[in-house]
Structure 1
Amino acid sequence: MQTISVTEFRARAAEMVERVQNGETVRILRHGKPVAELVAPSVERTHLPRWKTPIERPFVIQRPDGKSGAQLIIEGR
């Protein structure tokens, strides 16, 4: 793990991101106290939440009477 100050991080941000891509962790200090850590994303963090995953098949609701939503709308007009 590399530890650097905020000022140094600003000057060498691209280099630090490259180190993180290579699997290293970078800890950023402000006034000698840790304020952030740069780590590569894990597999768990990169997956999409369930509500953002694409629907693979059309969403179909089966009613007990066999009518579709479109049929009910047409009948209601």
Structure 2
Amino acid sequence: MKQATITEVRNHAKQYFDIVESGESVRILRNGKPIADIIPIVPDLPSWKRREAQPLLLDGLSVSSMILEERGASA
């Protein structure tokens, strides 16, 4: 994490916001003490991408394993 004083951020704001835009956080210091963090915003994902994929089950058995089993039997 980069660190900068309020004066540095004010004088070189574009540089620091470019750093944040690239994914890195910047900690702001006043009199040598941290007072704030500028952090990148995590892009929102569509709801279908946030959910963990669940296997499709039929009567407690995985449908994909049933298909693979059937393919192996007919080969």
TM-score class normalised by the smaller sequence: 0.5 to 0.7
1:18-44 Cα offsets, whole Å, 9 max, x none, are 100000110000001111111111246
Tell me the distance in 1 between the aligned counterparts of 2:15 and 2:43: 23
Which stretches of structure 1, 4 residues or more, deviate above 4 A after TM superposition?
none
* Unaligned stretches of 5+ residues in structure 2: 47-75
What TM-score, normalized by structure 1, do the two folds share? 0.54
What count of residue pairs does the alignment treat as equivalent? 46
User: In the alignment, which residue of structure 2 is the partner of 1:32?
Assistant: 32
More strand by share: 2
Compute the RMSD of aligned alpha carbons.
1.9
One-letter identity of the residue aligned with 2:25: T
CA distance in 1 between counterparts of 2:8 and 2:33 reads 14
